Chains A and B, each alone.
Chain A
């Protein structure tokens, strides 16, 4: 009887949602970017573990824009089509620093907890 290979479970939906803002802000800190390329970057950073529903990326970007953390502008892409790019704003940098502090706290606490387990 062939041994069944257990597929690793995907990252929980809540965790994916919670990490979306810091990830997007961190990616945009490197420079302006557009939706499709951001998705590629997330895949690459997470080794393919973090999979976003691709159409859902844009509402998240628009929400960050509404919160004045990022801003968008149109520019002609390499295909010749107009493309919407996003870049970080000053408030976005501050929000990213705060997100980073909070995630560091969570990460440190989990690391300690698992070490002592």
Chain B
């Protein structure tokens, strides 16, 4: 090989190294975004290399051409976000610190649930037992970094946070008040896993969040039926003893609506409408009992927070139904999304 040929070969090699460096750096940034899988990155790399070759033809040096190609392909974060909209139907994956903080709080609730379940002194209503088992499933999904776990947790924490705030503002009569300190772990975790960045939760993710909120409202209402009669009975308990068992009837549809929303099934919207209707009936029943049967608003502090949460759950289920209808992908749904 002549000196000139060897020189040109060497400069080509240097050029290739420069291109590789720039593209590797871009790939690292892409892979840093949790939404992308390696096949996506390979496809973008192929594009970058083809574009770099084209730009080199217009007289740019190897490094300049590779850098210009990266600019034309776009900001890695924006590219990842667009991919996430397609690949992750409920939103982006949570980072490990955020995952673990949500998991720690959920674990606390789950352990508390199982302790009550195995304790012989407390009679645990069936909806609470079912919710404890479901919380375990969500905890496992969260640790497996499945994307539907996050909106479910956000919806449940949102419900717990609002209900706790209401209980702090208007504590029901009884020996145990609600301390504002109880809010700290709930609101702290909620703030930590909240979708602060645009596009962190998709439309399907928000629908699931509302569905989860409605389910917790339903579980909370349905659970009151199983509570033992206490003397003197708390107003909430009296109300629920006299309330039509709409929440018990709506419990299964609310659960199915959550499952259907994860599977992006069209029937989830109907299950959610049914859940919204039963929550609405429950709220009207509680309100009606106090207003019509007690003929006064003196007890408003007792029933208003609980009734408000039932109305809020009903509204959440209704909005979720509309959103589910839009984000549904098939009539029956598919398990494909449950594994993402």
- Residues of A close to B83: CB separation below 8 A: 58-59, 62
Of chain B, the residue at the smallest CB distance from A83 is B46
A5 part of interface (Cβ distance < 8 Å): no
**B51 and A36: CB pair below 8 A?**
yes
| Interface size grouping (class) on chain B | 20 to 34
Please judge, given known A-B contacts A35-B43, A63-B86, whether A55 and B73 are in contact too, CB under 8 Å. yes
Identify the interface centre among B44, B46, B85: most chain A CB within 10 Å of its CB.
B46
Query: What's the Cα separation between A63 and B43 when bound, in Å?
Result: 15
**A35 and B47: CB pair below 8 A?**
yes
B82 part of interface (Cβ distance < 8 Å): yes
Please judge, given known A-B contacts A34-B46, A35-B43, A84-B39, whether A56 and B82 are in contact too, CB under 8 Å. yes
- Residues of B close to A62: CB separation below 8 A: 83, 86-87
Interface mask (B235-275 → A, CB under 8 Å = 1, otherwise 0): 00000000000000000000000000000000000000000
Chain A min CB distance to B187 (Å):
35
Interface mask (A66-85 → B, CB under 8 Å = 1, otherwise 0): 10000000000101011110
Chain B min CB distance to A28 (Å):
16
B78 part of interface (Cβ distance < 8 Å): yes
Cβ-neighbour of A54 out of B39, B40, B47 (below 8 A): B47
Query: What's the Cα separation between A84 and B50 when bound, in Å?
Result: 13
**B44 and A77: CB pair below 8 A?**
no
Interface mask (A11-46 → B, CB under 8 Å = 1, otherwise 0): 000000000000000000000001110010000000
**A82 and B42: CB pair below 8 A?**
yes
- Residues of A close to B32: CB separation below 8 A: none
A90 part of interface (Cβ distance < 8 Å): no
Of chain A, the residue at the smallest CB distance from B45 is A81
Of chain A, the residue at the smallest CB distance from B79 is A55
Interface majority SS on B: helix, strand, loop or mixed? helix
Please judge, given known A-B contacts A66-B86, A84-B39, whether A56 and B79 are in contact too, CB under 8 Å. yes
Chain B min CB distance to A80 (Å):
11
B72 part of interface (Cβ distance < 8 Å): yes
Query: What's the Cα separation between A63 and B329 when bound, in Å?
Result: 12
B203 part of interface (Cβ distance < 8 Å): no
- Residues of A close to B234: CB separation below 8 A: none
Chain B min CB distance to A2 (Å):
27
B49 part of interface (Cβ distance < 8 Å): yes
B74 part of interface (Cβ distance < 8 Å): yes
Query: What's the Cα separation between A62 and B39 when bound, in Å?
Result: 12
Query: What's the Cα separation between A34 and B45 when bound, in Å?
Result: 13
- Residues of A close to B87: CB separation below 8 A: 62
Of chain B, the residue at the smallest CB distance from A63 is B86
Query: What's the Cα separation between A63 and B72 when bound, in Å?
Result: 21
- Residues of B close to A117: CB separation below 8 A: none
- Residues of B close to A54: CB separation below 8 A: 47, 51, 72-74
Please judge, given known A-B contacts A55-B73, A55-B74, whether A35 and B86 are in contact too, CB under 8 Å. no
Interface contacts beyond A55-B73, A56-B82, A66-B86: sample of 14 additional A-B pairs, CB < 8 Å, sorted by A: A34-B46, A35-B47, A36-B47, A54-B51, A55-B79, A58-B40, A58-B43, A59-B85, A62-B86, A77-B46, A81-B46, A83-B46, A84-B39, A84-B46
Interface of B toward A, CB cutoff 8 Å: 39-40, 42-44, 46-47, 49-51, 72-74, 78-79, 82-83, 85-87
Interface of A toward B, CB cutoff 8 Å: 34-36, 39, 53-56, 58-59, 62-63, 66, 77, 79, 81-84
**CB pairs A–B below 8 angstroms (5 shown):** A55-B73, A55-B79, A58-B79, A62-B86, A84-B43
